[in-house]
Structure 1
Amino acid sequence: MDEERKDIILKEIRYWKANQLLPDQYCNFLLMLYSEGEEADEMEDNTPSLSPSPHNFGVVLTMLLAAAAALILTFIVIYFTSFSLLLQTLSHLILAAFVFAMAFYARRRRDHILFHILISAGALLLFIGSTTTVMRFEENNILLHLTILFHCSVWLLAGFYWKLTYLKWAGAAGIILAVLFSAAS
């Protein structure tokens, strides 16, 4: 292949890589193929390091601490305060919305592990808050079992919709346990 044609192809592949028209692995392979290995040194210099930056680590740590604080605050509101039922329910909803907002921010940043942790924390906050509210609102076991079934069904559907295995398992296990306990009582 003549040099002019090879240069045109290499420029085009670099353009694809810069504009993310093809995945980096494909572009790197094509660059290596058409440059006959000469591009290998340049690619090694330009590859980003896989270690997290200090700024990224700080954001992740802050979000994890905020989610843990939301869970702790939920337990404090439930067990150690004499807030009214409406105020407790409102605090659970606000904390869960805050954690879910952080989860979708983490998803937008493409931090998948943090996203899954925050989704789990938000689901747990909603579950704890709603079951506590139902137990304090009316001491009715049927209503409590229906609330648990509702949450587990939502987890199961969300697991299938977003293809999240842990939500599928948690939803299915929760439905089975709720049905078994409601049948036993």
Structure 2
Amino acid sequence: MPGKRDELLNLEKRDIILREIQYWRKSRLLPEQYCDFLTNIYDDEATVKDNNPISLHNLQQGSIKIWLFGFGIISLIFLISLYFSVFPWPLQLATALSVLIVCYGYSAVLRDRQKVFSLMLAGIASILTLGFGLWIIELHNLDPLFWRPILIGFCGLLWCILGFVLRIGLLNYCGFAFWGLLYGGFFIKIRPDASMLELELLWLPLCVLMVWLSWLLYHRISGVAGVYFGVGATLWIMPEIDALLLRQGYPQWVSFLLLTKIAVGLALLFLFRKKWITWVTS
């Protein structure tokens, strides 16, 4: 019994050391070759195993099953692309949902073991979400003025939720960006001749809200404070971007106002760098 207990303790220590080495590798605290060397020392099999079946090494050394699996996936994608337009709309919707569920599902499953592959699947699924939606709208001659905003709102909500759950910052940010686009487009229709002061009041409260949420979530939930801070920083200059890109007839001095706000924003970032860098890296 004592010998078996000592063996288990040694295995636990080795696993802790290997996890720490992997953390050094991901954080780039040590060069890749040093991490491989240390892993070889503490790994019983003396090899750095690559669990990703899509890696170049595993494709070179892999069995015929991996190649057949890849061929099947590529063939399925081409078949869906070629015959999607002739499917009845219930089958089109079911096909799109099935592809998205599979991609997002595998992204969630592989999030901890194969992070790069998980991010690739999430990115592909996000592009397909928007692509399938636009394709269905065009195929069925749906009113784009009505259905495109619905698609934008759906994509934004989906990406915000999945980005938060899967801790994918870029996906979460894109979700907020789509909601910002929907928000700006809605107020363009309501107030097409809004003054610069109205635009500042339209966007800046949201900027303050997102920065406050960044501070709040930093103390409670890890991995999302940086996204909210980035959204808040973007909203800081959104009134001027709204005036210059989304509306017409604004004077030239709006460009100088944009440059002034960028300079003020950078000055604030410099003054409070010790605080917001902690939020972003949490």
Instruction: Decide: shared fold, TM above 0.5.
Output: yes
Q: Aligned equivalents of 1:178 and 1:70: distance in 2?
A: 34
Amino acid in structure 1 at the alignment position of 2:107: A
Q: Aligned equivalents of 1:51 and 1:68: distance in 2?
A: 26
Find 1:144's aligned residue among 133, 143, 148: 148
CA RMSD of aligned residues (A): 4.2
Match of 2:99 in 1: 95
Contact 1:154 1:171 in 2 (8 A): yes
Once the two structures are TM-superposed, the CA of residue 155 in structure 1 deviates from its matched residue by 0.8
Task: Describe the SS at the equivalent of 1:23.
Answer: helix
Q: Deviations over 1:13-32 (max 9, x none)?
A: x523424696125999xxxx
Match of 1:76 in 2: 82
Amino acid in structure 1 at the alignment position of 2:16: P
Find 1:126's aligned residue among 126, 129, 136: 129
Matched, 1:50 2:48: yes
Matched, 1:154 2:158: yes
Unpaired segments ≥5 residues, structure 2 = 22-37, 190-282
More divergent stretch after superposition (53-62 vs 16-25): 53-62
Once the two structures are TM-superposed, the CA of residue 149 in structure 1 deviates from its matched residue by 1.1
Residues 1:69 and 1:20: Cα distance change in structure 2 (over 3 Å): farther
Amino acid in structure 1 at the alignment position of 2:130: F
TM-score for the superposition, normalised by structure 2? 0.43
Q: Aligned equivalents of 2:156 and 2:20: distance in 1?
A: 44
Q: Aligned equivalents of 1:161 and 1:53: distance in 2?
A: 23
Find 2:119's aligned residue among 116, 119, 126: 116
Contact 1:103 1:119 in 2 (8 A): yes
More divergent stretch after superposition (135-144 vs 156-165): 135-144
Unpaired segments ≥5 residues, structure 1 = 1-7, 29-39
Match of 2:173 in 1: 169
Once the two structures are TM-superposed, the CA of residue 165 in structure 1 deviates from its matched residue by 0.7
Once the two structures are TM-superposed, the CA of residue 69 in structure 1 deviates from its matched residue by 5.9
Q: Aligned equivalents of 1:155 and 1:113: distance in 2?
A: 18
The total of aligned residue pairs comes to 161
Identity %: 12
Relative contact order, higher structure (CA 8 A, sep 6+): 1
TM-score for the superposition, normalised by structure 1? 0.60
Amino acid in structure 2 at the alignment position of 1:106: L
Amino acid in structure 1 at the alignment position of 2:184: L
Amino acid in structure 2 at the alignment position of 1:132: W
Once the two structures are TM-superposed, the CA of residue 137 in structure 1 deviates from its matched residue by 6.4
Q: Aligned equivalents of 1:176 and 1:140: distance in 2?
A: 19
